């Protein structure tokens, strides 16, 4: 596939018809300038960045500690938590996706578990306080982008046959189930992709008040917005697509899919807006995918603003007041960056 590692690898049926809106351009496009705010050997290969209370967390995939913690005011390095290893408080691996959980906790995925936890200070050091730990069924070990909602776990993506947007799991009774609308393809296309064992990578964000969620696809320029309580698809928004992605996926060998266009890599949100990291470009052989646009919609699916950035990002997060964005680079991995959102320019 065109997306090779987790950053670039990193895809209840409703009773009413969703609102479908084709859009060709965002009503407004602006440049956004990211400035370097931190450079240090502390960072190795960052995979995700997230606001957490008055801190910023970076999930690192290379160093001895998974979570690097910085102050939101001044970007001072505060310490690290969760050591890599086999010990009782260590993790062998962590998926590079950090989710807020409630007002003061995070959710993250280890090798075979989902944990919710708080990061606390003890004198001059930080430590992780685990609130809850849920064992995943073996069928979800390869899933990514897992979130917790209404007592169940849901994954946006998994290496197995699929027909709907999400795989659900009930820890209370131990059963797996499909959830959400059928993928935005024909039944024949879904069947053929499953026969070829080609999953569609996608990522999901929960609105902070958790009454809605939004998902975007890596190889389809589509935004979907769901009612988080019922799983009803409310809005499906298509960007004009001139790529041959589906034909390439269905008609070429899995190890030779030249010409695929990458669309969305990450998605974050506030109570007002949805933000998604976008490429829209083909990946050239031997080059890194370039994701240097951020698309912004409101929660009714209306396109609001397209931001053209001065750098290619691996991940980002947005302050809850929608004033600024912090980002990590797919190239300058020892740094992270900050930019004001140019609403008034």
pLDDT at 15: 35
Q: Concatenated DSSP letters for 139-188?
A: GGTT-EEEEEETTEEEEEE-SS--SEEEEEEETTTTEEEEEEEEPSS-HH
pLDDT tens digit sequence for 168-213: 999 999 999 999 999 999 999 999 999 888 888 999 999 998 899 9
Is 215's pLDDT higher than 60? yes
pLDDT at 224: 96
CATH 3.40.50 fits 19-39+136-340, yes or no: no
pLDDT at 23: 63
Is 12's pLDDT higher than 60? no
pLDDT at 20: 63
- Residue pair 50/69 in contact (Cβ under 8 Å)? The answer is no
The pTM assigned to this predicted structure is 0.92
Is 316's pLDDT higher than 90? yes
227 vs 210: CA distance, rounded Å: 9
Is 292's pLDDT higher than 90? yes
Mean pLDDT of the chain: 89
pLDDT band at residue 225 using 50, 70 and 90 as cut-offs: very high
pLDDT tens digit sequence for 59-77: 999 999 999 999 998 889 9
Is 4's pLDDT higher than 80? no
pLDDT at 180: 96
pLDDT band at residue 22 using 50, 70 and 90 as cut-offs: low
283 vs 286: CA distance, rounded Å: 8
pLDDT band at residue 120 using 50, 70 and 90 as cut-offs: very high
148 vs 211: CA distance, rounded Å: 13
């Amino acid at each position: 596939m065109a997306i090779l590692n987790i950053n670039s690898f990193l895809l209840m049926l409703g009773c009413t018809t969703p609102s479908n809106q084709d859009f060709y351009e965002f009503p407004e496009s602006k440049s956004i300038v990211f400035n370097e705010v931190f450079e240090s050997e502390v960072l190795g290969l960052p995979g995700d960045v997230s606001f957490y209370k008055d801190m910023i967390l970076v999930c690192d995939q290379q160093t001895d500690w998974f979570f690097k913690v910085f102050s939101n005011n001044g970007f001072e390095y505060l310490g690290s938590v969760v050591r890599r290893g086999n010990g009782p408080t260590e993790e062998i691996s962590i998926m590079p996706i950090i989710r807020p959980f409630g007002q003061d906790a995070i959710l993250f995925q280890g090798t075979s578990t989902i944990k919710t936890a708080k990061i606390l200070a003890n004198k001059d050091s930080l430590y992780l306080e685990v609130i809850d730990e849920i064992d995943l069924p073996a069928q979800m070990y390869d899933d990514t982008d897992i979130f917790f909602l209404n007592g169940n776990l849901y994954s946006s993506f998994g290496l197995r046959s699929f027909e709907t947007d999400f795989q659900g799991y009930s820890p209370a009774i131990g059963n797996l189930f499909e959830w959400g609308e059928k993928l935005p393809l024909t039944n024949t296309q879904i069947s053929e992709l499953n026969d070829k064992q080609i999953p569609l990578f996608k990522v999901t964000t929960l609105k902070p008040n958790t009454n809605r969620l939004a998902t975007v696809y890596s190889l389809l320029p589509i935004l979907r917005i769901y009612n988080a309580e019922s799983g009803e698809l409310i809005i499906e928004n298509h960007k004009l697509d001139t790529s041959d992605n589906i034909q390439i996926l269905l008609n070429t060998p899995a190890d030779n899919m030249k010409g695929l266009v990458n669309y969305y890599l990450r998605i974050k949100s506030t109570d007002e807006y949805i933000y998604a990291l976008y490429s829209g470009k083909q990946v050239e052989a031997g080059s890194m995918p370039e994701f240097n646009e951020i698309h912004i919609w409101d929660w009714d699916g209306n396109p609001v603003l397209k931001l053209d950035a001065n750098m290619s990002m691996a991940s980002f997060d947005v302050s809850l007041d929608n004033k600024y964005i912090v980002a990590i680079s797919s190239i300058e991995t020892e740094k992270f960056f900050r930019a004001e959102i140019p609403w008034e320019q």
